[in-house]
């Protein structure tokens, strides 16, 4: 039971709708990105729902995330974007039919082979190439040594990929990266490396540059119904998460009285306030103090004072509210709406951070076909 009436509602039907919208736009297969617990939405239920609809490739950041999915019933290939410790490959070798580690250095290959020996061939790998992000992708000057080691140890290679730095900015660097990718792809193929899966596109690239989609695209943020760019709006995306709580106390605050830690809000007139049992320990940003708002019965109510670890205060003066009334922090109430994008703008961050930081203290409930489950 959730004793404070606070729930993150995750709509699986909306998630599947967004996947189909992206697929219809780019005309390519989809590799849903479900890292960071599906950006805070719940990777297990969403991945299983997508797999049931025929999606057969997924991506996460770390091997532990992939193992969690496999242990909970996912039987698809799962790309690991991030670094895998060689001992992790050994620990999870029983899942080698599903886990696809990324090669992004000769050092990794040498370390992995030293520990695994010929068992390294139980895994199939993707190669990541740096076309402009300058993070973990293989640089031009490193590629020959990586190719030599792939051949030396007879590694099994599935894919060759990179990542756009500015697809959300809709600028010319997208074309520069794409051309660099194609040139290196041609080179590694000429060296006898077989590639069966070419991929590069994130949400913004899949939607705004569908001509660059290659064999498969890797959308993340757009699959959750959130906009991947501030430069261009995508019609038709359906937000997947709503966060709702309730009023647990009503107070009268007299003119001149203050609210919250450090007394950052002083009442200019007599107010009625409502206490909501959600705070920054739930992942609701403290920087929304005195700046954010919630929805109660379809009306916007401003946050007053500092958001505490476990609760916040909102202004309900002149509004028809009562104990236990529903409070919407993200989502819709009547015809009014608060989006993760709105909260991100106020906090000076991106919508990715808003949902991915919602902690496990807020219980997730899933909706599919009108059925609610956990």
User: What does the H/E/C string look like for the chain?
Assistant: CCCCCCEEEEEHHHHHHHHHHHHHHHCCEECCECHHHHHCCCHHHHHHHHHHCCCCEEEECCHHHHHHHHHCCCCCEEEECCCCCHHHHHHCHHHCCCEECEECCHHHHHHHHHHHHHHHHHCEEEEEECCCCCCCCECHHHHHHHHHHHHHCCCEEEEEECCCCCHHHCCCHHHHHHHHHHHHHHHHHHCCCCCCEEECCCHHHHHHCHHHCCCEECCCHHHHCCCCCCCCCCCCCCCCEEEEEECCEEEEECCCCEECHHHCEECCCCEEEEEECCCHHHCCCHHHCCCCEEEECCEEEEEECCCCCCCEEEECCCCCCCCCCEEEEEEEECCEEECHHHHHHHHCCCHHHHHHCCCCCCEEEEEECCEEEC
pLDDT in tens, 2-51: 579 999 999 999 999 999 999 999 999 999 999 999 999 999 999 999 99
Question: Which of 151, 255, 261, 323 is flagged as catalytic?
Answer: 261
Residue 275: strand pairing partners: 249, 313
d(CA 61, CA 59): 7
Question: Is 365 among the residues known to form the active site?
Answer: no
pLDDT at 189: 98
d(CA 288, CA 82): 32
Joined tokens for residue 225:
């119904």
Contact 118, 159 (CB under 8 A): no
* Phi-psi label, residue 257: left if phi above 0, alpha if psi -120 to 50, beta otherwise: beta
pLDDT at 273: 98
Contact 75, 66 (CB under 8 A): no
Contact 260, 306 (CB under 8 A): yes
pLDDT at 2: 58
Joined tokens for residue 47:
């991945």
Q: 188 φ, ψ to 5°?
A: -70, -30
pLDDT at 115: 98
Q: Which residue has the tokens 């003119």?
A: 255
Calculate helix-pair angle for 63-71, 43-52, nearest 10 degrees: 60
* Pairing outcome for strands 249-253 and 271-276: antiparallel
Which residues of the chain fall short of a pLDDT of 70? 1-2
Select from 115, 134, 128, 186 the least CA-distant residue to 157.
128
d(CA 171, CA 367): 38
Q: 331 φ, ψ to 5°?
A: 130, -160
Calculate the CA 217 to chain-centre distance: 15
Question: Which of 35, 57, 244, 246 is flagged as catalytic?
Answer: 35
Question: Is 280 among the residues known to form the active site?
Answer: no
Contacts of 190 (CB under 8 A, 6+ apart): none
Provide Rg for the chain, Cα atoms. Answer: 24
pLDDT in tens, 61-79: 999 999 999 999 999 999 9
pLDDT at 325: 98
Select from 99, 112, 10 the least CA-distant residue to 60.
99
pTM over 0.85: yes
Contact 294, 327 (CB under 8 A): yes
């Amino acid at each position: 039971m959730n004793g404070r009436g606070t729930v993150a509602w995750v709509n699986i039907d909306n998630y599947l709708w967004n996947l189909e919208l992206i697929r219809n736009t780019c005309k390519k297969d989809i590799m849903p990105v479900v890292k960071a617990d599906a950006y805070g939405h719940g990777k297990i239920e969403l991945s299983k729902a997508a797999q049931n609809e025929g999606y057969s490739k997924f991506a996460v950041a770390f091997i532990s995330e992939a193992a969690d999915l496999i242990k909970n019933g996912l039987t698809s290939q799962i790309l690991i974007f991030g670094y895998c410790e060689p001992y992790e490959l050994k620990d999870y070798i029983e899942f080698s039919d599903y886990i696809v580690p990324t090669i992004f250095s000769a050092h990794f290959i040498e370390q992995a082979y030293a520990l695994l020996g010929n068992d390294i061939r139980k895994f199939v790998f993707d190669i990541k190439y740096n076309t402009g992000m300058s993070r973990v992708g293989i640089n031009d000057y490193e590629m020959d040594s990586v190719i030599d080691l792939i051949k030396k140890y007879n590694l099994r290679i599935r894919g060759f990929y990179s990542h756009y730095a500015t697809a959300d900015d809709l600028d010319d660097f997208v074309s520069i990266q794409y051309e660099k990718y194609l040139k290196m792809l041609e080179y590694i193929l000429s060296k006898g490396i077989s590639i069966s899966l070419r991929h590069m596109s994130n949400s913004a690239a899949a939607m705004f540059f569908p001509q660059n989609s290659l064999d498969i695209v890797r959308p993340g943020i757009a699959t959750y119904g959130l906009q991947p760019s501030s430069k261009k709006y995508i019609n038709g995306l359906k937000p997947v998460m709503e966060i709702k709580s309730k009023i647990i106390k009503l107070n009268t605050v007299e003119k001149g009285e203050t609210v919250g830690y450090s007394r950052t809000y002083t009442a200019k007139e007599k107010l009625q306030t409502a206490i909501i049992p959600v705070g920054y320990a739930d992942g609701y940003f403290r920087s929304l103090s005195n700046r954010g708002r919630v929805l109660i019965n379809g009306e916007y109510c401003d946050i007053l004072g500092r958001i505490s670890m476990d609760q916040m205060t909102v202004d309900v003066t002149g509004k028809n509210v009562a104990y236990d009334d529903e409070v919407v922090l993200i989502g819709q109430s009547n015809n009014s709406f608060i989006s993760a994008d709105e909260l991100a703008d106020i906090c000076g961050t991106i919508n990715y951070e808003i949902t991915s930081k919602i902690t496990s203290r807020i219980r997730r409930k899933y909706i599919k076909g009108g059925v609610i489950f956990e």
